[in-house]
Amino acid sequence: MGALMVQRKLMWFYVVVVGAVILLQPSYARQDSAVSNQSGTTIRDGTHDFDWDIGTWKTHQKRLLHPLTGSATWVEYDGTDVVRKIFDGANQGLVVADGPAGHLEIFTLRLYDPQSHQWSVYFTSKGGGTLSQPAIGEFKSGNAEFYDQEPYNGRAILLRFSISNITPTSCHFEQAFSADGGKTWETNFSVNETLVKSETTSGHH
């Protein structure tokens, strides 16, 4: 993943996806159905994990300019994240933001696999031409983590995309890299979002 992918990998989903909610506070978490696997173990159906995210959000992003170099130089952006439902188990988000370091446009696609009960989160940026390889994961206890392995500056690294602090009107996304197989992680993208307009009236929740 090149420097361009550092910008698009986030977001928080953006797009943030994942993707996901589910065991959130009772006031806004929906009741999810459960399925049983062949061993009889009950597995939560996460098809609606991202329903809370459908709507328009105000975003504030911080990006580490040179990950995995020891750099402590961060740049900030402000913008919007518009998340739309495609159908149950699929949604998309578009982040548009500006800051001293320039303009960001990040598209995310989040797809749920009912067999593995995991989400795949894909990203691309304006001019990218292709979707990234997916970060794969799931929601547990109201938070989510998604992982993949990909090249960055000529070496293989691990990428972690996480979603936390979900409330009815706010959420937090982070992207981190690990160059030592997951022993240590360096956060390089941090996003806080505040809800501007939900889509509850359109049947997404």
Domain harbouring 178, CATH code: 2.40.128.20
User: CA 149 to CA 97: how far, in whole Å?
Assistant: 27
Give the separation between CA 203 and CA 205, rounded to whole angstroms. 6
pLDDT of 61 reads 96
CA dihedral for 29, 35, 37, 40, sign (positive or negative): positive
Token pair for 34: 């459960």
Count of the separate structural domains present in the chain: 1
Q: Which residues of the chain have pLDDT under 70?
A: 1-41, 200-205
Let me know: does 19 contact 110? Beta carbons within 8 Å.
Answer: yes
Q: Which two tokens stand for residue 2?
A: 């090149």
* Residue 39: CB atoms within 10 Å: 6
What's the confidence (pLDDT) of residue 199? 78
For 135, the domain range is 3-202
Handedness of CA 13, 15, 17, 20 (dihedral sign): positive
Query: 131 Cβ partners below 8 Å, 6+ apart?
Result: 109, 122, 123, 124
> Nearest Cα to 198, choosing from 177, 162, 167, 173?
167
Among residues 74, 79, 75, which one has the least CA distance to residue 94? 79
Give yes or no for a contact between 165 and 12, defined as CB atoms under 8 angstroms apart.
no
Residues 6+ apart with CB under 8 A from 189: 6, 9, 10, 11, 61, 62, 63, 64, 173, 174, 175
Q: At residue 140, what is the residue type?
A: K
